[in-house]
Structure 1
Amino acid sequence: MARFFTEREIRAVAVFLPLAGLLVAAVALFRPKSDPLEARRVEVAMERRMPADSIRLRPFDPNTADFDELLRLGLSKHEAVSLLKYRAAGKVFRIPEDLSLCYGISDSLYRRLAPWVRIGRRYAIAPREYRSGRVLPQLLAPSPFRIDTVSACYLRAIGALSKRQAEAFIRWRDLSGIYDMEELRDCYVVSDSVAAALEPYVIFPERRPHPVDAPVELNSADSAELRRVVGIGEKTVMRILRYRDRLGGFVSVAQLAEVPGVTESNYEKILKQICLDSCKIRKIDINFASPKELGRHPYMAPRTLRRLLKARQLKGGWSTAQELIDDHILTREEAARLAPYIEFGSAGGTADEKTTTRRDDAPEDAYPAEFQLETE
C-alpha cells in the first residue's frame, strides 16, 4: 500500500503539534483579564467634556481646528477624536452642513455648533468671490428704521433680503428714492411678502415737492404732471388715468377716494396740490349711446343698464333725469351720481340729424338741484 507521507514529514508533524499546543496554552494563561470597571473609567474619560465655565463658543473651521480647540468648544474627547479621524480619512467640510455627516457628531451637538462654523477659503464652495463669514447665524428682531438711511447689512441681519438683493435695493433707493409703500414695492428685489413684513417698521422721508406755479388740474393733467404731485406714485398715476377715462372726468376731488391706491394720508396731501375744471367732463348721450359705452361707465351698474336699454327701446328716450327716476330706471342716488355725466340728445329727426345737446343748452329742470354734485 502506497504511503502518503514520508517518515521525515511524520516526524516533523509529531514535533510541531506539541509545540503549537504549548503556545496556545501560554497565550490563554498569560492573557490579561478584562476589568469592566477600568473599561468604564476609560469610556467616561473619553466622554468627559470641559467644565461648563471653560466652554467658549466662537467661530471655528472644522477643517483646521485641533484637539484642544474642539474641547474648548464643548466636544467630548470621544467626539473630538471622531472628528479628527474623519478628517484623517480624507474627508473635507465644504459647507457647514457637512459637519452633521461626521459619525461622532450627534444632531444636538451639530445644532449647537452650526452657527459658529466658518469654512475657510481653501475648502469653501465659493467659485468667484470668497466670503469671509456666513450670514449672521441668528436674525435680529426688526425695529423701526428709516428707509432712506438703512444699510444693506441691516436688511440682511433682519432676514429681509440676501446680500445681493440688499445691495441692489440700496442702489435702487439711492438712484430714484423711496417715499411710500408703493415705491418700495416697485423695487424689483422686494417681493410682496417682504414688503408686507417690512411695512410696520419702515419710516419714509418726506418728499420735497417740486416748486409749481399753480396746482395740477386733475382732468387735463398727463402722467408726468400727476407724478409731480406728492402722494401719487407711479402705479397710482396709471390707475387715476384709467379711472378718469372711464368716468369721463372728475367733478369732485372726493372721487379720488374711489381710485385704488389712494389712501387717506395720501388724499390729504393730494388735496393741496390739485384743482378741478368740471367743464372738461366728457358726457354720454343717454338716448343714443351704445350699450358698450354706457356699460363702461363705473356708475352704471349692469342691472341698471339692462333696465335702461329695455326702456329706451320701448320709449325712445328721455329729456330729463327726473324722467329716469319716474320710470324707475335710476334711483335718486344713482341719478345724483350720473347727472354730471349724461346728456339728453334730441329724440326727433333722422339718425344723421341727431345731435347731442350740451349741458348748458339743456332745460333748467333737466338736472334738478338735488342731483347736482358739489365741485371743488
Structure 2
Amino acid sequence: MRRIFNYFSLNQRERLAIIGLLILFFVFLTTSVLLPMFQQSHGIAYQRIQWEGKLTRPAIDSIGIIPATTMAEKKPITYFYFDPNVLQKAEWIRLGLREKQAQVILNYVHKGGRFYQKEDLFKIYSLSKQEVERLIPYVRIEEPATPKKSNAYNPPLYIPIKTPTPILIDINLADSLAFEMLHGIGPSFARRIVNYRQALGGFYSIQQLKEVYGIPAELIDKLSTQLSLQAENIQKIAINHWSVEELGKHPYLKYKRARLIVAYRNQHGSFQSIADLKHIHSLDDDFFVKIEPYLDFSL
C-alpha cells in the first residue's frame, strides 16, 4: 500500500481520504449482499375498485377490465336453470352475483327491459364477460304467453267521436285560466300573455300575441279562429303629459325613446298629431305603426 502511495506521490491527507473511500465502498458492498437475506416478503395489498358511472359492455371488454371483488370469503355458488326475466334478487345472489349487480338487473326488468336470448345478459354493464359466460349455460328463457285466437267473429265497435265545442276567447278580457284552455297554451305562456297585455295597455290586434316571448308565430296562426278582440278599452298614452318614467314603462317606447320624446316636447311644445311626433327623425316608421293606436294627443 505504501509503495502505491509513494508511486502516485500522495501526501498523508490524500492517503487517509482514499482509505476512507475504500472502507465506505466495502461497507456498501457488504450491505447490498447481506440485507436482502434478512428482509421479509410483503404481500401485495389489493384495494377494491369502486366502479362509478355507467360503462357499457363494449367499453369494459375493450380495455380488458374486470370489476374487482372484495377480499372477503365468497359465498358458495348454487347453479340452477333460470329465466332472467323473472328471477328475484335472492336467486341472483345464489348464482354468485353481488347485491348491487342483482339490483341493476332488477331495475332493467322493472323499467320494461327484457331478455330475449341468452346473449342479452351481455347488455348488463354490471356483469363482467366472465360472469356472463359462467351463467349462460343455465339460462332458460320462456316464451311470453300469446293469447289464443278465437274463431268467433267480433264485429268492430264504432264509438262516435264527439267534436269538441270550439272555444272563442277575447284576448283583452281573458285571464290566464281562459288562455290555458287553448291547445298549446300552458300556464307559462298564459301568464306571459296577460303580463304583456297589461304592459301594453291592451291589444289592438291578434297579431300582437306573436310578440309574446317564446310563443311560436305558427301557434298563434293556428289558434286565430278561436281568438277575438275588443279594442275599445285600450289604455291610451298621454303623450303630452306623461313623464319619462311613465313613457319608458311601455314595451314599444322604452326609456331611450321616452327621453327623446320628452326632450322634443319640452323644446317644441305639445304634440298635436302623429305628424308632429314624426319630426323626431331617430324614430322609424315601424315604431309609428305600432304605437299610433295607443297615442292620446289631448292637451
Please report the TM-score for the alignment, with normalisation by the length of structure 2: 0.49
Larger RCO (CA within 8 A; separation ≥ 6): 2
Please report the TM-score for the alignment, with normalisation by the length of structure 1: 0.40
